[in-house]
Amino acid sequence: MKKTIIGLFLLGAVIAQAQEDSIKSLKPLKGSSGNDSITYFKTKIDDYKFWTNGRKPEVIDTTLHIKNYYNQNFIKQDAFGKLFYPNVGGVVVDLEYQNSPFNPSMLPTGKKYNYYYANEIKYYDVKSPYTEFIYENGVKEGNFLSSTFSHNINKQFNYTFHYRGLISEGRYKHEKAQNNTFVFSSNYKTKSERFKLWWNYAAQNLKNNENGGIKDIYDFILQDERRKTNIRNIDVNSQTAKSEFDARRIELNASYGILKKLNEKDSTFYNPIELKNKFSYEKQKYRYEDSSPNGDLYDTPLITGLDNRNKKSFTDLSNTTTAGFLWTDRVKIEAGVKLKSLRVFSEEPFIFSKVDEDDNIIYNVINPKEIKENLFGVVGKVDFDWNEKLKLYGNVEYLQSDNYKSVYNVDAVLDITPIEGYTLSAGAVIQSKIPSLNAIYNQSFFADFNYANKFETENVQNLFAKLKLDKVNTTVEASLYNLDNKVYLDSDLVYKQLNDNINYFKIKGENHLRFGKINLVSTAQYQKVTKNENIMPLPDFLIRETLYWQGELFNKNAQLQAGINATYFTKYNGLRYIPILNEFAIQDPTNIQEIGGYPILDVFINFKVRNMRFYIRGEHINASFTKEPEYFAAPNVPYRDFKFQLGLKWNIFS
């Protein structure tokens, strides 16, 4: 199946290239009247756009910009504030707090960056067939491939296939990663654009071998020759554990315009009333197995007579119906109702008990088969786009639930441009949401990892502001958080809810200096958890400096970008990764391992010819000459060693 999918994408690329060649060959012959009826058109980059649900269309980016360099990784995101595990496709550690999705999910923290959320699915509108290839080498053995093929049958109908596959062996024992994602998206509109339909199907499978980190960190720090000769000589906590997260999701959106009104500014017509409906269904499965489990690793007994596998599933059925009112071309308000049905479950209930010879209880497990939750309520949205100097966007969602009384989400952003080149964005997020379903329910062959918890809703209040100074290429942003009733995994590996609040703030600045073709991009962030820092430990400072040269070569037929990137963050008591749950826990206070306090140096060369970009990176080059390495991503888990990275991104416009 995987080979078939890859083959289809390769075939699509060949067809696209053949079409491109054939288009180039169609030129009118001088003196020939037979070609008079043929109409030629020239495409431009603005003819190739994409959008995600709820966002405005964007033009496909083929530039050689430093922001694209920052996004050159498996998760396609800027890695500032993130720390990668040794292998590609592994865990990504957050070095700063970020708002989590409002909708409940069973997605483990350890796999969230490898997963496509519904609002990340792209819809396309392209004037001719469009193909995108991204290729990178894996760690030790393996590779990463991302491929997209999009085609407009006509101006009204588009379909898109996207495939992302990864196999990476990794350098340490038992850390292989294997991910496969397939996405189909499509959109249709009538000629009058009165009726619109857009939908997608996403199938995702994320597999990881779980070695639980190295047994003794000094095997890594002190045994220099052994480590550099063959890093697989270092013992790990497990060589048999595996985790798998599988998700299937379908989403269907439709809108229908009512009435017809003339826009006096450009003499076009629009529909002042619009009815919308959004239906989605997703099923998630999480599996963890270990053929030779080590109970001492988690300090918990094994349940006698069970297969050494965790199995649980989750379904999410959701439907939202709204009516939108467009008073002018600048003000739009939507309101409607939302229904959501959630179910987290296993194959059967767990009822197990065991005592020793003295009738002391070894374990007593009583765990239900399933937990259900139904939610119903109202939703609303406002878009106030007065002009380029004043914009307001807001969303509200209020739902009544079976077990949590009410949950809600309110977010709003105000954009102001008082002077040309100076933009201020300010807003707020207020949430009361259901905690992660991984904290609420689990079944396991480890006795102490069976639970069905009842928690209160988690509450989040967030104020933020961002000032953009275009004339000096500087951006300053700040966020203030108050987190109530946070659910966390304590050092004893039991989920608990904090009967208090966490206060946290962060201030971030970025500046881009140019000296001819020499560029220096500086990014710095100061953050502090001022209350209950032990529950949410984070480094105080994060710093990144990027020095590079960028210019044109070969009579402006190519572009080159080459430089060095340095990152650093201060030491902090990082959270401990728990493979059986794919979640993070507080460290044992009697055995704290600090994370951070080391620089990471990368060198890079990015080369662009037409719509093809090649990139070469030497990641963490200073690891090669560090005698006693103490660079860790999490307790007992080293950060990525030196890696020579080759990559290619090719945009084909047929």
What's the pLDDT tens digit per position in 638-650?
998 899 999 999 9
Q: Does some domain include residue 498?
A: no
d(CA 481, CA 504) in angstroms, rounded, equals 5
Domain count for the chain: 1
Residue 488 within a domain: no
What percent of the chain has pLDDT above 70?
92
- The answer, yes or no, to whether residue 2 has pLDDT greater than 70, is no
CA distances from 560 to 73, 322, 550, 557, 604 (A): 19, 49, 6, 10, 11
What's residue 37's pLDDT?
A: 53
18 pLDDT higher than 50: no
Q: Identify whether 484 is part of a domain.
A: no
Q: Please tell me the distance from the alpha carbon of residue 278 to that of residue 297, in angstroms, as a whole number.
A: 45
Most confident of 198-202, 299-303, 444-448, 623-627: 198-202
Q: Is residue 207 part of a domain?
A: yes
Look at residue 477 and tell me if it is in a domain: no
Q: Which residues contact 141 (CB under 8 A, 6 or more apart)?
A: 167, 168, 169
Give the range among 236-240, 480-484, 545-549 with minimum mean pLDDT. Answer: 236-240
Answer whether 48's CB lies under 8 Å from 130's CB.
yes
In a domain, 30, yes or no: no
Single out the residue of 569, 532, 562, 530 nearest to residue 547, CA to CA: 562
Distance CA 195, CA 262 (A): 18
Q: Is position 568 within any domain?
A: yes
Q: pTM for the complete prediction?
A: 0.90
DSSP bridge pairs for 68: none
Domain that holds residue 330: 43-405+434-455+504-653
Find the mean pLDDT for residues 248-266.
87
Mean pLDDT of 160-170: 96
Asked whether residue 119 is assigned to any structural domain, the reply reads yes
Average pLDDT over residues 35-49: 71
Report the pLDDT averaged over residues 379-401: 92
- List residues bridging with 357 in a β-sheet: none
CATH number for the domain harbouring residue 165:
2.40.170
Which burial class, exposed, middle or buried, applies to 567 when counting CB atoms under 10 A from its CB (0-12, 13-18, 19+)? buried
**C-alpha to C-alpha distance for 362 and 447, rounded to whole angstroms:** 9
Q: Give the range among 82-86, 304-308, 582-586, 618-622 with minimum mean pLDDT.
A: 304-308
